[in-house]
Structure 1
Amino acid sequence: MTDLKEARAMTNPYASLSTAELIRHLSEEVSRLVRDEIRLATLELTRKGKRAGRGAGLFGGAGVVALYGGGALVATVILLIAQVLTPWIAALIVGVALLIIAAILALTGKSQVSKATPPLPEEAIQSLKADVDILKESAHR
Structure 2
Amino acid sequence: MRIQGTSSPSKHWHFTTTEDGPKPMATAPESQSLPELVGGLANDITKLIRGEVQLAKTEVNEKVSQATSGAAMLAAGGIIAFSGFLILLLAAVFALANVVEPWLSALIIGAVVLIVGAVVLMKGKSNLSANNLKPERTIHSVKRDVELGKAEMTR
Q: What TM-score comes out, normalization by structure 2 length?
A: 0.46
Instruction: Report the equivalent of 2:51.
Output: 36
Instruction: Report the equivalent of 2:77.
Output: 62
Instruction: Report the equivalent of 1:49.
Output: 64
Looking at CA atoms only, which structure, 1 or 2, has the larger radius of gyration?
1
Which amino acid in structure 1 is aligned with residue 59 of structure 2?
Answer: E
Runs of 4+, deviation exceeding 4 Å: 96-99
Partner Cα distance (1:81, 1:75) in 2: 10
Q: Which has the higher contact order (CA 8 A, sep 6+)?
A: 2
1:78-110 residue CA offsets vs partner (Å, 9 max, x unmatched): 33256x49xxx84x45445567x49x98xxxxx
Mind listing any 5+ residue stretches in structure 1 that lack a counterpart?
Answer: 1-6, 106-141
Instruction: Report the equivalent of 1:23.
Output: 38
Q: Provide the alpha-carbon RMSD of the alignment.
A: 3.2
Instruction: Report the equivalent of 1:11.
Output: 13
Q: Does the CA contact (< 8 Å) of 1:78 and 1:94 recur in 2?
A: yes
Q: Secondary structure at the match of 1:11?
A: strand
More strand by share: 2
1:60-83 residue CA offsets vs partner (Å, 9 max, x unmatched): 11122222232122111233256x
Q: What TM-score comes out, normalization by structure 1 length?
A: 0.50
Identity %: 23
Q: Secondary structure at the match of 2:32?
A: coil
Which amino acid in structure 1 is aligned with residue 75 of structure 2?
Answer: G
Q: Name the stretch that deviates more: 10-19 or 48-57.
A: 10-19
Count of equivalent residues: 90
Instruction: Report the equivalent of 2:92.
Output: 77
Mind listing any 5+ residue stretches in structure 2 that lack a counterpart?
Answer: 1-9, 15-24, 116-155
Q: Does the CA contact (< 8 Å) of 2:93 and 2:105 recur in 1?
A: yes
More helix by share: 1
